[in-house]
Amino acid sequence: MRHVCAYFTSSTASTAYAPCVIDEEVPTTGTDLGVPRASHRAPGRQRRLRVTGWREVPVLLGIAVVVALLVRAFVVQTFYIPSGSMEHTLEVNDRVLVNKLVYDFRSPRRGEVVVFTSPVSWRTAPGEKDFIKRVIGIGGDHVVCCDAYGRIMVNGVALNEPYLDDDSGPAAPASPNPFDVVVPADRLWVMGDNRFFSGDSREQYLRTHDPVASTIAVSSVIGRAFVLFWPMSRANWLDVPPGFAAVPAPSDG
């Protein structure tokens, strides 16, 4: 309840009186005679609120950077393809996403495309450190090239490899050179999808005839490439072809 003064003029005099009357209808909340209460807020408080908001921005940016670095270091990382060794599954300058966490829980499997730190003997230039190839054989597998139809055999089963380089032609063998090797324990036999242009296990075996030197350690694998995301026109999941499921486990003998 507030007091409101109203002016009136006496009928017998020219003097104007301004008695105060009580106006019970004027609300005591909301606005005060049409002036919003917000206008009475201290300007210093508004400035403090704005300053506090701006101070949070560097903190939020710092948290975002730390999270991004942790994700890149331990979960997912992007890699680009520098050569044609995986054509035409992956072309030069394609970008892939690599799952770096999956092999903390299991070992690489046949048919998966993996990124690994290459052995020094595999490199032709100092900058060639991270390689990308497909796993053909795991520890204990007997890998042979080739059967009567030019197919690689793993533990006696011929592989159906629909991803092989189209440039080699439909009648070309799965490898231009024969080999017969048993993969050592805790190592992987890896090959590029472009069998005629790939520095991989086949090439190293032809040069050294050493099963260890021609394979990579499981511990050198950085992660599994699971999706081609750039260019978007060719975006695709890097799935394992179904033919690999038919390969039996290596025999003890």
Active-site residue, 85 included: yes
Question: Amino acid identity, residue 194?
Answer: N
Quick one: what percent of the chain has pLDDT higher than 90?
A: 60
| Other C-beta atoms lying within 10 Å of the C-beta of residue 73 | 10
Tell whether 181 is covered by a domain. Answer: yes
pTM of the prediction? 0.73
Indicate if 15 and 133 belong to the same structural domain: no
Query: Which CATH number do you get for residue 143?
Result: 2.10.109.10
Question: Of 57-71, 73-87, 158-172, 198-212, which gets the smallest average pLDDT?
Answer: 57-71
Indicate if 17 and 133 belong to the same structural domain: no
The helix or strand, by DSSP H or E, that contains position 85, with its residue range, turns out to be none
Instruction: Considering the candidates 133, 175, 198, 201, report the single residue annotated as catalytic.
Output: 133
What's the pLDDT tens digit per position in 21-40?
A: 444 444 544 444 444 454 45
* Alpha-carbon span 13 to 15, nearest angstrom: 5
What's the pLDDT tens digit per position in 227-250?
A: 999 999 999 999 999 999 999 999
Tell whether 52 is covered by a domain. Answer: no
* Alpha-carbon span 252 to 247, nearest angstrom: 15
Instruction: Considering the candidates 85, 118, 198, 214, report the single residue annotated as catalytic.
Output: 85
Tell whether 6 is covered by a domain. Answer: yes
Question: Residue 21 is part of which domain span?
Answer: 2-31
Tell whether 145 is covered by a domain. Answer: yes
Model pLDDT, residue 3: 46
Instruction: Write out the DSSP string of 225-241.
Output: EEEEEESGGG-EE-PPP
Indicate if 81 and 195 belong to the same structural domain: yes
Domain count, the chain: 2
Tell whether 19 is covered by a domain. Answer: yes
* Alpha-carbon span 175 to 203, nearest angstrom: 10
| Other C-beta atoms lying within 10 Å of the C-beta of residue 43 | 7
Tell whether 59 is covered by a domain. Answer: no
Indicate if 159 and 83 belong to the same structural domain: yes
Active-site residue, 133 included: yes
For the segment 75-102, the average pLDDT, to the nearest whole number, is 93
